[in-house]
Amino acid sequence: MILLLQYTLIFASVLMLVALGGCFSEHSGVINIGLEGIMVMGALGGALMMKFMPAGMPAFGIILLVVLASIALGMLYSLLLAVAAVNFKADQTLVGTAMNLLGTAAATVFVKAMNTAESVDNVSSIIQYIEPKKAFLVNIGSFEFNWFMLLALIALVASYVVLYKTRFGLRLCACGEHPQAADSVGINVYKMRYAGVLISGLLGGLGGIVYITAGVSEWKFENGVAGFGFLALAVMIFGQWKPTRIALAALLFGFFRALGNVYTGFDFLKAMELPSSVYNMLPYIISLVVLAFTSKKSRAPKAEGIPYDKGQR
């Protein structure tokens, strides 16, 4: 049970961070389908930092540098969506899809090029970070606490406060609901949409490094992030674009994803003699079922996905 709780919390942390990122982007009026690619880029940034950071650094320094590297690369990659959607008024769904394909492919090519230069055959060798990885863990009895769990909780509280209790958050939501009205009172819609997309890059990149350091024991760039970006989108929709509901949805989906890791520890699940792939499929099956029954009641920001035109009223 403790292991199930541990995996549930870590998978929920990943989903919550990425879903909150998508929430900020969509509240600004930009659909971010590219969360999967942003996660891969964030994971790449953090993995590179762990590979090249000086040996013997204190745990706090490792965590800080890895988080900053993941955030920086995630935000930089999200600029592709911001420029395409805001400046060029491109189709946001197509841009996001392209970002997902490009993210995994670019990371794989980059890592293979690095390994070729270093005469290394294994593409995943760049993330052999056993020692740095320990900096994120604290053993509390038989429970393995990961500092990213606390970071996800802080992000949740901060997201709620920013969206509903600050002028910035209210302006951001206004740009996603009625950008023309927001512009009429002096709000720069373009800047707010850039801000929303960049925040999604920040949280998405952070979710990527959490996934590879805590969510899986071994990870290769060519495998991407196993659909967690799309699962986070389902969490966001199921959570109705509200941080507190997103947190509850992330716990639900995280629980079903955790079953795929620990089902062998439960006799009644072992007795069913189902292959492990079935348990790994559970969160995706659940997402399809949940969205099928709740999509009609979903209320997305009214202006999401619609390029802003100053001349339109």
Which pLDDT score, from 0 to 100, does residue 221 have? 74
| Alpha helical stretches, state H, 83-210 | 92-117, 130-133, 147-165, 167-177, 179-184, 189-210
Per CATH, the number for 2-297 is: 1.10.3470
Q: Find residue 146's DSSP bridge partners.
A: 137
Task: Write phi, then psi, for 264 (nearest 5 degrees).
Answer: -65, -15
Which pLDDT score, from 0 to 100, does residue 130 have? 47
Task: Write phi, then psi, for 140 (nearest 5 degrees).
Answer: -115, 90
Which pLDDT score, from 0 to 100, does residue 123 have? 44
Which pLDDT score, from 0 to 100, does residue 264 have? 58
The Cα-based distances of 217 to 9, 34, 206, 261 in angstroms read 16, 25, 18, 11
Which pLDDT score, from 0 to 100, does residue 69 have? 95
Which pLDDT score, from 0 to 100, does residue 236 have? 96
Which pLDDT score, from 0 to 100, does residue 124 have? 47
d(CA 204, CA 74): 6
Structure tokens at 269: 């699940």
d(CA 120, CA 112): 9
Which pLDDT score, from 0 to 100, does residue 214 have? 78
Structure tokens at 256: 């079903």
- 3-state DSSP call for residue 75? helix
Which pLDDT score, from 0 to 100, does residue 230 have? 94
d(CA 193, CA 290): 29
Which pLDDT score, from 0 to 100, does residue 201 have? 98
Look at phi and psi of residue 178 and say left if phi exceeds 0, alpha if psi is from -120 to 50, else beta: beta
- 3-state DSSP call for residue 27? helix
Which pLDDT score, from 0 to 100, does residue 126 have? 47
**Max Cα–Cα distance, the chain, nearest Å:** 64
pTM of this prediction? Answer: 0.92
Residues 248 and 18: beta-carbon distance below 8 Å: no
The Cα-based distances of 292 to 11, 160, 245, 288, 304 in angstroms read 23, 27, 18, 6, 21
Which pLDDT score, from 0 to 100, does residue 3 have? 84
Q: pLDDT 10s digit of each residue in the chain, 313 long?
A: 788 899 899 999 999 999 999 999 999 999 999 999 999 999 999 988 888 888 778 888 988 999 999 999 999 999 999 999 999 999 999 999 999 999 999 988 888 887 776 655 544 444 445 456 777 888 888 888 889 999 999 999 999 999 999 999 999 999 999 999 999 999 999 999 999 999 999 999 999 999 988 766 666 777 788 899 999 999 999 999 999 999 999 999 999 888 877 765 565 566 666 677 787 788 888 888 888 887 777 889 999 999 998 776 6
Residues contacting residue 209 through CB under 8 Å, at least 6 positions apart: 42, 43, 45, 46, 47, 66, 67, 70
The Cα-based distances of 87 to 21, 69, 97, 226 in angstroms read 21, 26, 18, 31
